[in-house]
Amino acid sequence: MEQCYREEAVKIRRILHTIPEEGWQEVRTTVFLIRVLEQYGYQLQYGKEIHGVRYGVPDQKVYEKLHERNKDVYEERFEDVFQGYTGVIAQLDTGREGEAVAFRFDLDGLAVSECSGKEHMPSREGFASQYPGSMHACGHDGHMAVGIALAHWVMVHKEELKGRFVFIFQPAEEGVRGAKSMLTSGRFPHIDRLFAMHIGLGMETGKIGVGTRGFLGSEHMNLYFHGQPSHSGNAPEEGKNALLAAATAALAIHSLTQYRAGIARANVGIMHAGTGHNVVPGEAVLGVNLRADQEEILSDLHRRVEETVKGAAQMFENQTELEMIGVSACYDHVNEAFAAQAEKVLKDAGFAVERDPVFGASEDVTMLMRQVEEDGGEALHLMIGAELAGNHHSGSFDFDESALALALDAYEVLIRYYAAVR
Ligand SMILES: [Zn+2]
Ligand SMILES: [Zn+2]
């Protein structure tokens, strides 16, 4: 791809790196994306119209603070965005018959404090996070930069292209929340061919992984136990102990993961209970993450967790509530025809390609990939090789910015193959 787009990607990555916003809080980021994409001439959808079921939304107080921080970019049309309906979908119809080709990029940063030492490139070069305690520590700043530069290239070259282009800028990937919301909006665009990507994750610099598989399906949930507090000295029998109900459930949940057919994981990662040394705890909450490599296992595990929680609650006469706060799909297959074709196209263009790398974690782009395939389209995930400084989700995380040009070059070659006028 021409040098100007590569430079644009680096420039945008560095701008976005300074304003890392966590899931459902990507207000400034969304406004930035809207303004740039609008300038390029894209048809945009944003705000409530691109959202449906939103899991794991922070409370209102968070948005009051964000309003204050972002008031310099406020416009009335961004009201929904300021309320947490973040993300944007940009489309271009070339007017020529062809496929709807889509690209998905994620927006959110993490609650990680960025290293301030000079050995950390963003700090040394002056584009480290301006928001203490938040950081783009997974490379999503790079993903968005690729998305913007690619959208720019597509618009400039639209006379050479056919079909429809869809750029999906999805919020709240961390905690696997945004994809579900976009899919349930009722207005998610039809897609024939979906490309997804992630920078780093162990892929060598200069290499492209084609046909990533091994995404574990994941559910994040909060389990609430409502009991009855009482004086632990003079009326202990009047208490209904929520802490003990939660603790009983926590132990039992960890025993549920034995499946012959595949992988299952359960983790009780959070437990809060109790208000005082001399009070029978009346309220408790567990934060639970379930994962599996097959939907059947994940849904069975979910069912058994619910039964376990009911049982534990009954032992201590508690009431319970389950709140879903994130979900991603199991995705452990490769569209062989699509992957083989893309591999050939990239190899013929001189790229170093690795087939079917294993992701080994969860990513909610799998929700979009599964939906596109169920609707008769095709989906492919690419890993963009990049040397990393520090691990993903750590304060010293950084990636070799040559990955941006690599992704742009690969996407140009793929677009010219799948969506060029011949
Ligand atoms: Zn991440
Ligand atoms: Zn990520």
Q: What is the pTM of this model?
A: 0.94
Residue 233 and residue 352 in one domain: no
Ligand 1 centre to CA of 345 (Å) is 29
Ligand 1 centre to CA of 392 (Å) is 6
Ligand nearest the Cα of residue 170 is: 2
Write down which residue in 272, 301, 328 finishes a domain: 328
Give the span between the Cα atoms of 91 and 189, in whole angstroms. Answer: 9
Q: Residues 185-203: what's their mean pLDDT?
A: 97
Ligand nearest the Cα of residue 365 is: 2
Structural contact between residues 341 and 418, judged by C-beta atoms closer than 8 angstroms: no
CA angle in degrees (0–180, nearest 5) for 143-390-194:
25
Which CATH number goes with the domain that contains 88? 3.40.630.10
Residue 204 and residue 279 in one domain: no
Q: Which residues of 188-205 are buried (b: 16+ CB within 10 A; e: fewer)?
A: beebbbbbbbbbbbebeb
Residue 17 and residue 102 in one domain: yes
Ligand nearest the Cα of residue 140 is: 2
Residue 241 and residue 132 in one domain: no
- pLDDT of 31 higher than 90: yes
Residue 252 and residue 343 in one domain: no
Starting at the earlier edge strand, list the strands of the sheet with 378-384.
Answer: 43-46, 88-93, 164-170, 100-106, 193-199, 378-384, 207-210, 352-355
Give the position of tokens 């690599």.
Answer: 406
Ligand 2 centre to CA of 75 (Å) is 30
Sequence-distant (6+) residues with CB within 8 A of 13 are 141, 142, 144, 145, 401, 404
- pLDDT at position 361 is 84
Q: Residues 61-88: what's their mean pLDDT?
A: 98
Grade residue 67 by pLDDT with cuts at 50, 70 and 90. very high
Residue 381 and residue 257 in one domain: no
- pLDDT of 117 higher than 90: yes
Ligand 2 centre to CA of 199 (Å) is 8
- pLDDT at position 422 is 83
Give the pLDDT confidence of 122-172 residue by residue, as tens digits: 999 999 999 999 999 999 999 999 999 999 999 999 999 999 999 999 999
Write down which residue in 307, 328, 349 finishes a domain: 328
CA distance to 286, 292, 338, 360, per residue, from 332 (Å): 29, 11, 15, 10
Give the span between the Cα atoms of 145 and 6, in whole angstroms. Answer: 9
Residue 222 and residue 208 in one domain: no
Give the pLDDT confidence of 239-268 residue by residue, as tens digits: 999 999 999 999 999 999 999 999 999 999
Residue 122 and residue 202 in one domain: yes
**Number of folded domains in the chain?**
2
Which CATH number goes with the domain that contains 292? 3.30.70.360
Kindly report the backbone phi and psi dihedral angles of residue 24, in degrees, each rounded to the nearest multiple of 5, phi listed first: 65, 5
Q: Residues 78-92: what's their mean pLDDT?
A: 98
Residue 152 and residue 37 in one domain: yes
Kindly report the backbone phi and psi dihedral angles of residue 390, in degrees, each rounded to the nearest multiple of 5, phi listed first: 80, 160
Q: By mean pLDDT, which of 190-194, 357-361, 382-386 is the weakest?
A: 357-361
Average pLDDT, the chain: 97
- pLDDT at position 360 is 80
Write down which residue in 313, 328, 343 finishes a domain: 328
Give the pLDDT confidence of 305-314 residue by residue, as tens digits: 999 999 999 9
Residue 112 and residue 249 in one domain: no
Residue 320 and residue 336 in one domain: no
CB atoms within 10 A of CB 77: 11
Q: Residues 55-79: what's their mean pLDDT?
A: 97
Give the pLDDT confidence of 271-308 residue by residue, as tens digits: 999 999 999 999 999 999 999 999 999 999 999 999 99
- pLDDT at position 168 is 98
Domain span at 260:
217-328
Residue 41 and residue 166 in one domain: yes
- pLDDT of 198 higher than 90: yes
Q: Residues 217-223: what's their mean pLDDT?
A: 97
- pLDDT at position 128 is 98
Ligand 1 centre to CA of 93 (Å) is 32
- pLDDT at position 13 is 98
CB atoms within 10 A of CB 392: 18
